[in-house]
Structure 1
C-alpha cells in the first residue's frame, strides 16, 4: 500500500495497537486487503480501534479485543463490506479526507482535531500518507514564521516560553553568538508523547521551519527513555524526513523523572549529566543553552501548533486550540483537543469518570484544584483562576480525599525536586510536614500560606514555583476538609495512610 488517502478499494486501519508491544499480531499477512497500523487517536477508551473504509464510507469498531479484531478484519476482507462485522457506527465522508471524519459517538466526538488531525488516521512516519494530507512545509519565509509565532504561546511547563509569546526568544537566539539549536521537549506530557508517536512529521515541520528561521544547525528531540513508542517512532520519522541537509536532527532520551521535563534540566539530561539541576537564569537558554549555544526549547505541542498555523493560519475558521489530557478518576486516560474558548468541563467530557466529579486538579502534577469547572482553558483565564496551564486535568471523584491528594503531591515534590535551590528543597519538605501534622491535630493555615508564598516567589524554576499550588488552591476551596482532618475525621473515610513517610 502506497498511501491511505485518497484510495481505491478497501482500506483497514487499526489505531491504538503498538507494534512494540504486539509483535505477534500480523493482520496484514493473513488478509488480501491492506491493513495499516496507524497511531493512537489519544482516546484510549475506543482502542484498539478498527476503521474500515471504502469509497468514502468508514465503519468504526471500538475497543476491539484481539479475537474481535481478527474476526472483524477477516470478515470485512472476505465480504468487501465494511459493515460486515457489526460496527459501532458508519460515517460517510469525502473519500480524500486526510484526517479522521467526525464521528457521532461519545468516545470520539469530543473537541476538534487540528493539531491531532493525523493521530489515529495516518501511519505516523509514512511519507506518502503525510504528502497526501498536504505534505511537508518547505523553506517557509522567516517573516511568515515570525508572524505565526507572534500569535502562539508556549504550551506546557517543558517549554521555555511557557504561556508567553515565542518570538522574543527567537530573536535573542538568532542574534546570539554561536550556532543555534532547537530542542523539541516531549518529556512527561501525554499530549507531547501522543504527537511524537502519532504525528511526528507535524512536530518536525514546526521545528525545521523554526530552525531555518533562526539559522539553527541542530534539532534535538528529547523524550523519556520510558516512552518507547514515541522514541521508536521519532527515530523512524527522523530517518525519513526530507530534511534540510544543513540541519542535523537527533533523538535523545532522558531519565523517566518528572523534573527532567523542566527546560534547563532537559538540557542537562541531553548533555549527559547524571545529576539534573535547574540552571540559574539569566542568562536564559536562548542565549546560553545546549553546550553553551543559543537554544530554543519548545514542547511538541508548541511546534505542532506552529506547523498547523503555518499551514492553515489562525482565524475564525481555524480557532486556537489546546491539547488536553484527562486523567485521574476516569476509566481511561484521554487526550483531546478543544478550542481555547471551551471550558474545563467540556474537556472533561472526553473521558468517562468513575463517579461524580468533586474537583479537578488543573495544570498537571502541580496544578490548581477547582470545584467549579466552568472555566475556559485559555492560559490567561486559567492563570487568573490560580490553575495551571500544563494541559493535564486530573479528575477527583466525590469519594476522593482532597487532603490526601495534595499531601501526596507535596510528598512527591519533596522527594523529586532537584535540590538546587533552598526554597524548593526545604520548602517542599516543610510543606509535606505541615500537611502531615493535620493527622496529629495541628492545623496551621497561615504557616502553610506563608511557606507557599516564599516558595512561589523565590524558587529558581517552575518546579518550586508551582509545587505549593495544589495545597494553596485546596485550602481556598476545601478548607472544611482540612479542619475536619485536624479534628480526627476524614469526610470521605479514604486516607488512613495518606501522609505516611515513605
Structure 2
C-alpha cells in the first residue's frame, strides 16, 4: 500500500526521507518498502536535514516513531513487516520517540543530531509529504487576508531581518524594502513583483534547498501571504537550474496552495544559472530578464524601486519567507526585544562525515552545530558565512546577524569545520582566487582588487608578506565594491590575517605549519582554483 498525499495516517506508516543528496538511494528504499507493504502507508517525505542519518527511515505505529538511519533494502522490508505487525523495531532503531499520534511536525528525539537547535521552520521537514496540504493545515495566507493591517504592524513591531546573501533586506528589517516598494507604487510605479530567490550555488549552504525540498508548501504559503500584504499579483520563485528536485516539489506545492487560497495569478517557478554570482539579488534579476552576461546593478535605486523589468521588486530568500510565515502563524515565538528575532538556518560542512542543516535560536551559541555532524579530527578553525565567510578559532558566538557581523564573520548560514591539517593561508588563498575568476567584472574594486589580492597572497609563498598592503586592499574592497560579492570577497583573507598571522609569516619563511602547502617558491596552494577548502 502506498500513501502519496497527506500526513494524517497514524498506524502502520513508513516515511522515507528523500533529498537531493541521497535521492537515488532513498527512492530505491521507497520502492522496496512499497513492494513489501500490504497494510502500511509508505510516504516519501523531505530530508530531516542531517546527512549522517540519510537516507533516514521513520517507522510509526500510532503514537510511537522509530528512527532508522540508512538501512539496507532488506532492512526496510523487515521494517515494513514489523510495523504491519504493530512493531516499530525499536531494538534496532537509532532512536524511539513517543508522541501525539496526530502530530504534524517531526517528533525529534531528545538526544542526537536531530535535537540540535530549535526546529521551527524546519519542524515539518522529514515528516510531511513535500508539496501537499492537509485540509486543516493553518495557512499564513489566511492570516494575512483576515487582518492585513494587524499583520503588517506585527512584522514592524518584531523587526524581522532578511536572511541570506540573495535577500533584498539581508540582515536589515524587511519592512524597509516593503516601504520603498509601496512608495514607488504610490508615486506612479509599475505593478510590483515578489521574487523568492532560492538560487544558491554554494554547496556549503543547503539551507534554502532544504526548505524547498522538505517543506515547499510553507515557502509558497509564506510568499503568497507577503504578496497579499504588499498588493503583489506576480510572484516568481527563482531556483538553481541544477536543483531539479526542489523545482519539482515547489511546482507541486504551488498547485496545492493555489487550490486552497486562489491567488490573483499563479506563481511562476523559473530556473537560473548554476553560478555563484547568479544568487546575488540584482544579478538574479539580470538572469531572470534573460541577459547572457550577469553584472551587478548599481544601488540606489534598490530593486524595490527599480527591479525586474523596471518594476518595483521585493526580493526574499526562502529562509526569510519561512520566518515571515512562522511569524504570522505563531507570533508568540518571536520576541520583539531580540536584536535578530526568530531563528537562523545553518548548514554545517567541512571536514565532516556528512553535512547537516540545523535551525538555531539567535540567542544561543553557534558552537551547537558541532553536535549535528561527525567531526573526527582535531578542531583548528571554522569558516563562518560560506564561500566568503570569516575564519575563526572559536564558535562561541550567537548565530544572530549582530553577533556574527560584530565578530567579523559572515551571516549567510554556513559553517565549515576544519581540522589541524588545514592551512589558513591556503584556505584564504583559494577563496581569493575564486573571487578573481567568478566576479562579474562590473566594478574596479572587485575586479582588480581580487586579482591584486591573489597576487599578494602568491607573494607570501615567494617570501614577501606585505601585511599593510593586504589589509588596505581588503578594506578598500570591503567598502567600495558595488555588491556583496566584492564587499565580502576579501573577508577570508582579512580574518585569516587577524587570527592566523603567524602562519602568514611562516609561509613567507618557506614553512607551512599545517603541512598542507608546498615549499617556499611553489605558489600552487594559494593560487589554486577551488570552491572547496
Same fold, TM-score > 0.5, yes or no: yes
**Cα distance in 1 between the residues matched to 2:266 and 2:464:** 57
Matches within 5 A, 1:437-456: 437-456=459-478
The residue number in structure 1 matching 2:112 is: 106
Counterpart of 1:187 (choices 167, 187, 199) is: 199
Are 1:54 and 1:82, in contact at CA under 8 Å, matched by a contact in 2?
Answer: yes
Counterpart of 2:265 (choices 239, 243, 247) is: 247
After superposition, the Cα gap between the structure-2 partners of 1:340 and 1:245, relative to the gap in structure 1 and judged at 3 Å, is closer
Which sits farther off after the overlay, 147-156 or 270-279? 147-156
Are 2:356 and 2:373, in contact at CA under 8 Å, matched by a contact in 1?
Answer: yes
Asked if 1:471 corresponds to 2:493, the answer is yes
Are 2:430 and 2:528, in contact at CA under 8 Å, matched by a contact in 1?
Answer: no
**Cα distance in 1 between the residues matched to 2:477 and 2:103:** 50
**Cα distance in 2 between the residues matched to 1:260 and 1:46:** 31
Q: CA deviation at 1:29?
A: 3.8
Q: CA deviation at 1:166?
A: 0.8
After superposition, the Cα gap between the structure-2 partners of 1:352 and 1:84, relative to the gap in structure 1 and judged at 3 Å, is closer
Flag the structure with higher helix content: 2
The residue number in structure 2 matching 1:169 is: 177
1:238-284 residue CA offsets vs partner (Å, 9 max, x unmatched): 12222433133001111111111100001111111111110011111
Asked if 1:116 corresponds to 2:122, the answer is yes
Counterpart of 1:51 (choices 42, 53, 58) is: 58
Are 1:6 and 1:132, in contact at CA under 8 Å, matched by a contact in 2?
Answer: no
Matches within 5 A, 1:53-202: 53-77=60-84, 79-83=85-89, 86-128=92-134, 131-135=135-139, 137-138=141-142, 139-150=145-156, 151-176=159-184, 177-188=189-200, 189-202=205-218
The residue number in structure 1 matching 2:237 is: 221
TM-score by length of 2: 0.90
1:163-216 residue CA offsets vs partner (Å, 9 max, x unmatched): 000112112212321111101011114101111111111111211111111111
Counterpart of 2:407 (choices 385, 392, 395) is: 385
Counterpart of 1:419 (choices 437, 441, 447) is: 441
**Cα distance in 2 between the residues matched to 1:456 and 1:2:** 50
**Cα distance in 2 between the residues matched to 1:393 and 1:8:** 37
Q: Secondary structure at the match of 1:137?
A: helix
Matches within 5 A, 1:5-44: 5-16=7-18, 21=24, 24=28, 25-26=30-31, 27-32=33-38, 33-44=40-51
Are 1:13 and 1:35, in contact at CA under 8 Å, matched by a contact in 2?
Answer: yes
TM-score by length of 1: 0.95
Q: CA deviation at 1:63?
A: 2.2
**Cα distance in 2 between the residues matched to 1:423 and 1:135:** 45
Are 2:425 and 2:526, in contact at CA under 8 Å, matched by a contact in 1?
Answer: no
Unaligned residue ranges in structure 2 (runs of 5+): 519-523
The residue number in structure 2 matching 1:256 is: 274
**Cα distance in 2 between the residues matched to 1:91 and 1:137:** 32
Q: Secondary structure at the match of 2:328?
A: helix
Are 2:335 and 2:342, in contact at CA under 8 Å, matched by a contact in 1?
Answer: no
Are 1:156 and 1:389, in contact at CA under 8 Å, matched by a contact in 2?
Answer: yes
The residue number in structure 2 matching 1:431 is: 453
**Cα distance in 1 between the residues matched to 2:170 and 2:19:** 32
Which sits farther off after the overlay, 400-409 or 105-114? 105-114
After superposition, the Cα gap between the structure-2 partners of 1:140 and 1:44, relative to the gap in structure 1 and judged at 3 Å, is farther
Q: Secondary structure at the match of 2:404?
A: helix
| Coordinate RMSD, CA, aligned | 2.0
Are 2:10 and 2:101, in contact at CA under 8 Å, matched by a contact in 1?
Answer: no
The residue number in structure 1 matching 2:525 is: 498
Q: Secondary structure at the match of 2:372?
A: coil
1:447-467 residue CA offsets vs partner (Å, 9 max, x unmatched): 101111111111000000010
Are 1:153 and 1:166, in contact at CA under 8 Å, matched by a contact in 2?
Answer: yes
**Cα distance in 2 between the residues matched to 1:96 and 1:201:** 19
Matches within 5 A, 1:200-211: 200-211=216-227
Q: CA deviation at 1:105?
A: 3.6
Which sits farther off after the overlay, 80-89 or 271-280? 80-89
1:274-330 residue CA offsets vs partner (Å, 9 max, x unmatched): 111100111110011011100000000000000011000144799721111111111
**Cα distance in 1 between the residues matched to 2:332 and 2:501:** 42
**Cα distance in 2 between the residues matched to 1:89 and 1:159:** 37
Q: Secondary structure at the match of 1:168?
A: helix
**Cα distance in 1 between the residues matched to 2:60 and 2:17:** 14
Q: CA deviation at 1:500?
A: 3.8
Counterpart of 1:308 (choices 326, 337, 340) is: 326
